Amino acid sequence: MSSSPPRPGHPYHMHDAIYAQPGALRLVTRGQGAVLAAAAARLQAAPHVWLAGLGSSWHAALVGEALLARVGGLGPRARAIDAFDLAEYGSVAEGAAVLAVTHRGANRSVGAVLSRAHAVGAAAVAITGKGGDTPAGAEHVLRTVEREASSCHTVGYTCALAMLAALAAAVGGDDATARELDAIPDLLATLLGQESWDELGARFGGRRRYWFVGGGPNAATAYEGALKLSEAAGATAVGLGCGQFLHGSWTALEPDDVVVLIAPPGPSHARARDVARVAAEIGAPLIALVAEDDRDIAPLAAETIALPAVAELLSPIVAVVPVQLITYYLAVKAGANPDTMRAEQPAYGRARTVAGS
């Protein structure tokens, strides 16, 4: 966390970071064209690209895998892996590439995989925040935003996704994706003003458990939503892909839970509709993040949030922002400080020291 003084009430630092996202996204690649091109060339030539991260950075790596596979044209050469697993159990072959995502640049597992890549002559690329450490072993470093005052990373996450999309477009020579990426900040600015987010938090606060479910690239958005709510509010939250939810996890759903379903148009939409139907049968309220003209899921929802129309592979950048706002206002409703991850409570402060070691 940065040295910014804590705030005792709303608006917390997390709130400011969420609303800073349109402006940050407009600037995220500025002045980094040469590094972006050099990194893209190394990834394009690699027979295998590992995308690695932990926490939110792991979720970004999952989206990055889909972007590099399809927009970048790497197909099965791009694979996301938990940075700890790659450091402790994996291997990096000569000629391969490691693309590591890390907010602060100093994560032990991320440093280990980048150093290993450098040692064997593999390409080592890092996406990290400004003002933080330069990850050891990184050959090319792409910077996103200044370190956030809140421990609940939001703008750092969306900017990492945008940088991954820009990198994938450079790898694949996809000018259409690059242009669509340029339009996202304006779409987000509109999205941020379209709902009464505080009323949403008050309406759905105090529930037993929160389920975040998404398909395709938005399975990562579901994982991120569950992590954000745990960090911000200390609430019990579960993040699942549509298939995993429907395979049996739904049997733990209760009427006093809430399901947040991320379901923009795409191949996973049909299974997302099944998730909505399951929630309706059980009686659990559904918050649906869907296209404005959705006619399949919206009628089953207690609340709908209209997502801007973007390509499915870019939709995690816009879909995660309502998820961030929902988690923020649920934290405010619960009387939690979303910036601190409960570090002001002695036991949790000690636990955080252990977890970050």
Q: What pLDDT, on a 0 to 100 scale, did the predictor assign at position 87?
A: 93
Domain match, 133 and 211 both: no
Full-model pTM? 0.96
Domain match, 200 and 104 both: no
- The CATH number linked to 290 is 3.40.50.10490
Within-domain flag for 271:
yes
Residue 3: pLDDT band (50, 70, 90) is low
Residue 238: pLDDT band (50, 70, 90) is very high
Q: What pLDDT, on a 0 to 100 scale, did the predictor assign at position 1?
A: 42
Give the separation between CA 103 and CA 195, rounded to whole angstroms. Answer: 29
Domain match, 142 and 216 both: no
Question: 21-51, pLDDT tens digit by residue?
Answer: 999 999 999 999 999 999 999 999 999 999 9
Question: 54-109, pLDDT tens digit by residue?
Answer: 999 999 999 999 999 999 999 999 999 999 999 999 999 999 999 999 988 778 89
Which residue range forms the structural domain that includes residue 293? 196-333
- The strand order across the sheet containing 237-241 reads 237-241, 210-214, 258-262, 286-291, 303-307
Question: 278-323, pLDDT tens digit by residue?
Answer: 999 999 999 999 999 999 999 999 999 999 999 999 999 999 999 9
Within-domain flag for 347:
no
**Are 110 and 127 spatial neighbours (Cβ–Cβ below 8 Å)?**
no
Domain match, 253 and 162 both: no
Question: 197-222, pLDDT tens digit by residue?
Answer: 999 999 999 999 999 999 999 999 99
Average pLDDT, the chain: 95
262 bridge partner residues: 214, 289
